[in-house]
A and B are shown apart, each in its own frame.
Chain A
């Protein structure tokens, strides 16, 4: 009992031992630290862009008549190759999945000039550091008959748009 009283008394004394001046100074310093942390925390969002330039992700590739069996067309600006085979149309990205260089098309494969990744005809990795296959994009048809590629929609390898 006494020991508890002593503890309480001691505790009281400790509280009393802080002078008003020390208390106010300490609170002021902590107010500075807190407010500055909030400012810093708010600023963390600042460098992250809220708006991205409006680069069209969907683009027209012409009509189905433009793609006879076995034909292909490269859209340099969009970095996409569109091909037609017996099963239909498909679009493969030409951006290397390793570090974003543009792959060049050879007879039956794609090769990246930057670090030597190689992909087969369907975009699967055969050699080099690329972590995954070239992306396939969704091909669809607009009501007026024009075909579009949507580079925001990825489809599994082998997906074709039947014509």
Chain B
């Protein structure tokens, strides 16, 4: 009877409903858990089993997951902030003030959004360094390194476009500077006298601002980029980035891993005795393929199930990231200066800290520091996996003792060169101070930024010849890049004051 079936179905509804979306039963057995990971669209971004080396803390330090976790926190808090934020020149500043002072827990959410940005940028940079120094960009992983570069640029783009939204003094003048950096190819076209016909700088500025001056169009565009375009690409590329890690066989790891490398990482008893020394059955030779033969006498891959080990590690890292962000947000408020005033610039008008290294370069030449050197640096980073194709052990910090030595020497070399050059520039000035009538062309091509770049390129070629290895040459160049980035950022943050003059301490800044 249909009526009986009807009531029976009604009674069974809770069970059949749960069964309809959990198709493998409750994840109580290892098999069911594997199947859940396999068939769930979100969990499937990980494989069902991972190598134990993946969970080695001193190998990854969890940096990639921390970056992804902070992006997740940023997405959630960003969506919350959009409830109250009004992207209009007249209302933006007041709406941020409302969020800060009136909206319940608004200040905390805004602080979390601000601090998660900082955590994300730091972890992205460290993650890039980790991947580089453990040679995890090699072989099949070259393209994923490019994806990572894309994510790096998107991270900086997102944090920068968010910077204008409060429409305060800091925002207005940082964006003034940036939009004029976009227009700085004019320095070059002016020299050639072709700006009138061919003006890529002017075009970029107009595309960014939607106008020739910063106004409602600029705010609308930055809001659109910050809330829709860049997050969209971020999610897409991030998915590809993590997916490809899985497709490349999990995190890069050495071929021969000693047991002491894996101390303290959970083992799977079931995976231990899969391959015996003596074959249990007869095999026939089908074909010969390239690749490595399985290790005999041990578990074939030394793997453990992703659920629970990997997921627990990831959740722990997420909670760790969230805890850092919450503590910082509790103690330090996100800054909000006076409302934007187009007639009086901030003095000094400083960009957010992660752009200050660039701002120091920009203070030598707008075009070279703001467009030329960043382009060269990004291109250089992107090309690393294509120019360094040496076969080597993956997954070990600095490869071996020689790698460590080159990194150490490069560190000392880059630090010495950068500090010496900064000291020289502060003490003696640069070409313009000695020859006021010098053509701008000379300044564009010979300034502390390009001199630094030349020193680094020469050093990396020196290492290329000395060690006869592209990998060691790449280590030399990358170390120089990271060291100078850190020193320039530190220098511009702490030692540049009003009028971009040098000061030892902030307390020495003149009062005005």
A131 near B499 (CB under 8 angstroms)? no
A126 to B443, CA, bound (A): 13
B215 near A114 (CB under 8 angstroms)? no
> Which one of A112, A114, A124, A132 has the greatest number of beta carbons of chain B within 10 Å?
A114
Chain B residues whose CB sits within 8 angstroms of the CB of A126 once the complex forms: 432, 436
Q: Which of A77, A127, A131 contacts B366 (CB 8 A)?
A: A131
A24 within 8 A of B: no
Interface string of A112-137 (1 = CB under 8 A from B): 11111000000011111101100000
Q: Which of A89-105 contact B (CB under 8 A)?
A: 98-102
Residues of chain B having any CB pair with chain A under 8 Å: 173, 176-177, 179-181, 184, 187, 190, 203, 206-207, 210-213, 215, 217, 343-349, 359, 362-367, 369, 429, 432-433, 436, 440, 443, 447, 498-501
> Which one of B173, B429, B498 has the greatest number of beta carbons of chain A within 10 Å?
B173
Q: Which residue of A lies closest to B215 (CB)?
A: A53
A101 near B176 (CB under 8 angstroms)? yes
A102 near B190 (CB under 8 angstroms)? no
| Shortest Cβ distance from residue B142 to the other chain A in the assembled complex, whole angstroms | 28
- Identify whether the interface residues of A are mostly helix, strand, loop, or mixed: loop
| Shortest Cβ distance from residue B203 to the other chain A in the assembled complex, whole angstroms | 7
A79 to B436, CA, bound (A): 25
Given contacts A101-B177, A113-B346, list 8 more A-B pairs with CB under 8 A: A53-B213, A55-B213, A99-B366, A101-B345, A113-B498, A116-B363, A129-B364, A132-B190
A79 near B343 (CB under 8 angstroms)? yes
Interface string of A25-58 (1 = CB under 8 A from B): 0000000000000000000000111001101000
Chain B residues whose CB sits within 8 angstroms of the CB of A124 once the complex forms: 436
Chain A residues whose CB sits within 8 angstroms of the CB of B429 once the complex forms: 127
Q: Which of B345, B362, B369, B433 contacts A113 (CB 8 A)?
A: B345
* Contact count band on A: 20 to 34
A113 near B366 (CB under 8 angstroms)? no
B443 near A116 (CB under 8 angstroms)? no
A114 near B345 (CB under 8 angstroms)? yes
A14 within 8 A of B: no
B349 near A102 (CB under 8 angstroms)? no
B177 near A47 (CB under 8 angstroms)? no
B345 near A129 (CB under 8 angstroms)? no
| Shortest Cβ distance from residue B202 to the other chain A in the assembled complex, whole angstroms | 11
| Shortest Cβ distance from residue A23 to the other chain B in the assembled complex, whole angstroms | 35
B217 near A49 (CB under 8 angstroms)? yes
B206 near A127 (CB under 8 angstroms)? no
Contacts A52-B212, A99-B181 hold; do A125 and B347 have CB atoms under 8 A apart?
no
B176 near A100 (CB under 8 angstroms)? yes
Q: Which of A52, A99, A128, A131 contacts B211 (CB 8 A)?
A: A52
Q: Which of A49, A77, A131 contacts B210 (CB 8 A)?
A: A49
Chain B residues whose CB sits within 8 angstroms of the CB of A125 once the complex forms: 432, 436
> Which one of B203, B345, B348, B362 has the greatest number of beta carbons of chain A within 10 Å?
B345
Chain A residues whose CB sits within 8 angstroms of the CB of B498 once the complex forms: 113
Interface string of A52-77 (1 = CB under 8 A from B): 11010000000000000000000011
A107 to B188, CA, bound (A): 32
Chain B residues whose CB sits within 8 angstroms of the CB of A129 once the complex forms: 362-366, 369, 432, 443, 447
| Shortest Cβ distance from residue A4 to the other chain B in the assembled complex, whole angstroms | 45
A61 to B223, CA, bound (A): 37
Q: Which residue of A lies closest to B359 (CB)?
A: A115
A101 near B349 (CB under 8 angstroms)? yes
A48 near B180 (CB under 8 angstroms)? no
A132 to B437, CA, bound (A): 10
Chain B residues whose CB sits within 8 angstroms of the CB of A53 once the complex forms: 211, 213, 215, 217
A102 near B344 (CB under 8 angstroms)? yes
Q: Which of A48, A100, A102, A127 contacts B177 (CB 8 A)?
A: A100
A132 near B440 (CB under 8 angstroms)? yes
Pairs across A and B, CB under 8 Å, 23 listed: A49-B211, A52-B212, A53-B213, A53-B215, A53-B217, A99-B180, A99-B366, A101-B176, A101-B177, A102-B343, A102-B344, A112-B499, A113-B346, A113-B349, A114-B347, A114-B349, A116-B363, A124-B436, A126-B432, A127-B433, A128-B432, A129-B366, A129-B443
A77 near B362 (CB under 8 angstroms)? no
Chain A residues whose CB sits within 8 angstroms of the CB of B363 once the complex forms: 115-116, 128-129
A114 near B500 (CB under 8 angstroms)? yes
Q: Which of A116-162 contact B (CB under 8 A)?
A: 116, 124-129, 131-132
Q: Which of B179, B180, B187, B501 contacts A116 (CB 8 A)?
A: B501
| Shortest Cβ distance from residue A36 to the other chain B in the assembled complex, whole angstroms | 19
Chain A residues whose CB sits within 8 angstroms of the CB of B367 once the complex forms: 131
A124 to B436, CA, bound (A): 9
Chain A residues whose CB sits within 8 angstroms of the CB of B364 once the complex forms: 129
Contacts A102-B343, A102-B344, A114-B173 hold; do A48 and B203 have CB atoms under 8 A apart?
yes
A47 to B359, CA, bound (A): 28
| Shortest Cβ distance from residue A60 to the other chain B in the assembled complex, whole angstroms | 18
Chain A residues whose CB sits within 8 angstroms of the CB of B348 once the complex forms: 113-114
A148 to B364, CA, bound (A): 36
Q: Which 8 A-B pairs have the closest CB atoms?
A: A113-B347, A116-B500, A115-B363, A99-B180, A100-B180, A101-B345, A131-B440, A76-B343
